[in-house]
Amino acid sequence: MAGTETLDQFTEMLGVDVAQKIITQFGGQRITVPVQTNFLHPLCQAIGVEAFGQFTYYFGGERLHIPTDRIAKIPLRNARICAEHTKGDSINVLVQRHNLSYRRIQQILQLGRKAAPSDQTAAA
């Protein structure tokens, strides 16, 4: 599975924070995801039991390429910005928090809105 595709799936299924933990700990590696939950597995230690259970449910038995932190940084940042805006943070707050221009935050939010309906359409 390709790195950016994997990143999108991690973020969608497990959330930005868990995806970031996986990438920070295992970025640049190819890993085989266990089919069953093993509490001693390094992934379980890195992301916690609950998230690891979800991870094995979605990806168990697959061999994944985990993207490097450098490759993953911008898409994760953008997903975090969209999530923060959805929770009620204004664009001005996001500009200050992420040190980006007002226009760039608007672009990120617009791209996030365009991606969301297609994801819902694909799921239907």
pLDDT tens sequence for the chain (124 residues): 445 566 777 788 888 888 888 888 998 899 999 998 888 999 999 999 999 999 899 889 999 888 887 777 888 899 999 999 999 999 999 999 999 999 999 999 999 887 764 444 344 3
pTM for the full predicted model = 0.60
The CA-based angle 23-24-27, given to 5 degrees, is 50
Assess contact for 66 and 31: CB atoms under 8 A.
yes
24 and 36 assigned to the same domain: yes
104 and 78 assigned to the same domain: yes
11 and 40 assigned to the same domain: yes
47 and 81 assigned to the same domain: no
Q: What is the domain count for the chain?
A: 2
For 119, the domain range is 71-123
With a CB cutoff of 8 Å and minimum separation 6, the contacts of 26 are: 42, 43, 46, 66
17 and 53 assigned to the same domain: yes
Count other C-beta atoms under 10 Å from residue 7's C-beta. Answer: 22
17 and 56 assigned to the same domain: yes
63 and 77 assigned to the same domain: no
Assess contact for 86 and 64: CB atoms under 8 A.
no
32 and 76 assigned to the same domain: no
101 and 54 assigned to the same domain: no
